[in-house]
Chains A and B, each alone.
Chain A
């Protein structure tokens, strides 16, 4: 396995100033968003981002168990990130692993920073994220979908959460890494922001970046997040058309 990786590491990720899938350095993959896609949840969203397919749904606010962990001042928001066994090429064993527990936690933290949880004391709000097909950057896709689902559910929020990753491939800083770039690139920097104020809600990094490269990569991720925000906004506003203007004949 290591040998293959070493052999392919020589693979060029940038050819003639373009990336392997023909994108420019600051270009996002193709993205599609939809809300209100499930019947049994109070809010739901579906996001296709490149080859990623992610479904998010919200149950609650509902009674929180166990009782002694309830918070009489606010609701407790818990996100559960799960990958389908067939979402990756080598079958993933079902059930939580350390990676999905960590991602669940950072998404819960980001969402809890914007949700007005004081409105529902003593309750629990559960956000479930199902990765149906994974192709690099699932934590950003998940957080975007989860934020749409939460807004769709009617839980009050100070702002939406928008996210995008940037990274370094062949020495160049680029936005929104796809699978090969993620595997063989030098760095991955996922960022989630609240678009109104630009506050950072999630920031992770692995790889290596100089101080200047970091600044460039961070700004690129934030610019990407802002594009994502415009799409989220349009998705939510479009979903209200029937509600306000009546059904199209």
Chain B
């Protein structure tokens, strides 16, 4: 039995339900399930989850994130991914001959890349593969927990953002979004729309509102 309704807000320590299946962001004690965070409950039959409102990004397998090269090592690059945990991307991602090649030829300090995370263990050691350099443009930081809404169901939101603003946009699951446009006004519009999505992440009908907001701004 759930103690809360679908879409209800909860705080840490609040009872979510008894004899229900709910693991994400929850704690179980005997038959009772409590939320461990401030967030919103989604209920589906006997299953539920608590959607986080905020919180640090922790690396997950198969996530594509935007990283910043902070050091060039002998065997690869140290990459910051907006998380308490850093990782080394192996030199093999860029060259076959790591020992003899000059790695800074490929990626130097301050370079921004999109990379995929693989092989994450319980203390958050992980590997980074398939780097792609992000030249020019700029990066904004968004609350990582709200990234799923910026992307949308089957990438619907992201497609709207790209189409209506004409910007080149890459979304990292770690809360970094890269935006590139020849026209500063378009980039600014994209930032405005993304900030709105971030603020109103769990409201219903968000996609439609963003779409009409972009259409309206366009007419100005």
Question: Do chains A and B directly touch (beta carbons under 8 Å) in the complex?
Answer: yes
Q: A240 and B9: CB pair below 8 A?
A: yes
Interface flags for A207-243 (1: CB within 8 Å of B; 0: not) read: 0000000000000000000000000110011011111
Q: How far is the CB of A101 from chain B (nearest CB, A)?
A: 26
A-B contact pairs, 10 of them (CB 8 A): A43-B54, A151-B37, A152-B54, A154-B52, A156-B36, A158-B34, A160-B13, A237-B11, A242-B200, A243-B202
CB distance from B91 to the nearest CB of A (A): 23
Q: Contact string, B23-57, partner A, CB cutoff 8 A, digits 1/0?
A: 00101000000101111100000000000111110
Contact yes or no, A236 B203, CB < 8 A: no
Across the interface, do A120 and B58 meet the contact criterion of CB distance under 8 Å? yes
Closest to B27 in A: A158
Q: Identify the 6 closest CB pairs spanning chains A and B, nearest first.
A: A154-B55, A159-B13, A154-B54, A156-B36, A157-B12, A246-B203
In the complex formed, the residue of B with least CB distance to A73 is: B123
A43 proximity list for chain B (CB < 8 A):
54
- Chain A residue numbers with a CB within 8 Å of B25 are 156
Q: Is there contact, CB below 8 Å, between A245 and B203? A: yes
| Cα–Cα, bound, A232→B38 (Å) | 12
| A232 CA to B13 CA, complexed, in Å | 12
Q: Which residues of B contact A233 (CB under 8 A)?
A: 11, 14
**In whole angstroms, what is the CA distance A133 to B18 when docked?**
44
| B residues neighboring A (CB under 8 Å) | 7, 9, 11-14, 25, 27, 34, 36-40, 52-56, 58, 84-86, 122-124, 145, 199-203, 206, 209
Q: Is A72 among interface residues, defined by CB-CB distance under 8 A?
A: yes
A196→B34 contact, CB < 8 A: yes
Q: A104 an interface residue at 8 Å Cβ cutoff?
A: no
Which one of B27, B84, B123, B209 contacts A62 once the chains associate, using CB atoms below 8 Å?
A: B84
Q: Known contacts A62-B84, A154-B55, A159-B13; is A247 also within 8 Å of B200 by CB?
A: yes
Given contacts A60-B84, A244-B40, 11 further A-B contacts (CB under 8 A): A62-B84, A119-B58, A122-B84, A151-B37, A157-B12, A158-B13, A196-B13, A236-B38, A243-B40, A246-B206, A246-B209
Complex CA–CA separation, A158 to B12 (angstroms): 6
Which residue of the partner chain A has the closest CB to B123?
A121
Q: Are A42 and B56 in contact (CB under 8 A)?
A: yes
A142 at the binding interface (Cβ < 8 Å): no
Is the beta-carbon distance between B55 and A155 smaller than 8 angstroms? Answer: yes
- Asked whether B123 lies within 8 Å of A72 as measured between CB atoms, the reply is yes
Is A137's CB within 8 Å of the partner chain B? no
- What is the interface of chain A, defined by CB distance below 8 A to chain B? 42-43, 60-63, 72, 114, 116, 119-123, 151-160, 194-196, 232-233, 236-237, 239-247
Q: Within the assembled complex, what's the spacing in Å between the Cα atoms of A246 and B58? A: 27
Asked whether A151 and B200 contact (CB < 8 A) given A62-B84, A121-B123, A240-B9, the answer is no
* C-alpha gap A42/B143 in the complex (Å): 9
User: When the two chains form their complex, are residues B200 and A154 in contact, meaning their CB atoms are under 8 A apart?
Assistant: no
- In the complex, the answer to whether A122 meets B123 with C-beta atoms within 8 Å is yes
Q: Which A residues touch B122, using CB under 8 A?
A: 121
Output the nearest chain B residue to A233 by Cβ-Cβ distance: B11
B54 touches A237 (CB 8 A): no
B100 CB, min distance to chain A CBs, angstroms: 31
A23 and B37 CA atoms in complex are apart in Å by 35
Which of B55, B85, B200, B203 has a CB less than 8 Å from the CB of A153? B55
Partner of A244, one of B9, B14, B86: B9
B residues in contact with A156, CB < 8 Å: 12, 25, 36-37
Are B123 and A194 within 8 A (Cβ)? no
Output the least CB separation between A238 and chain B (Å): 9
Asked whether, in the complex, the Cβ of A63 is within 8 Å of the Cβ of B84, the reply is: yes
- Nearest to A63 among chain B residues (CB) is B84
B32 to chain A, nearest CB (A): 10
Most A CB contacts (10 A, CB to CB) among B12, B58, B201 go to B12
Asked if residues B203 and A154 are in contact (CB atoms below 8 Å), the reply is no
A195 CA / B86 CA spacing, docked (Å) = 37
Nearest B-chain residue to A119, judged by Cβ: B58
B37 and A244: CB pair below 8 A?
A: no
CB distance from B112 to the nearest CB of A (A): 20
Measured CA separation A236–B54 after assembly (Å)? 13
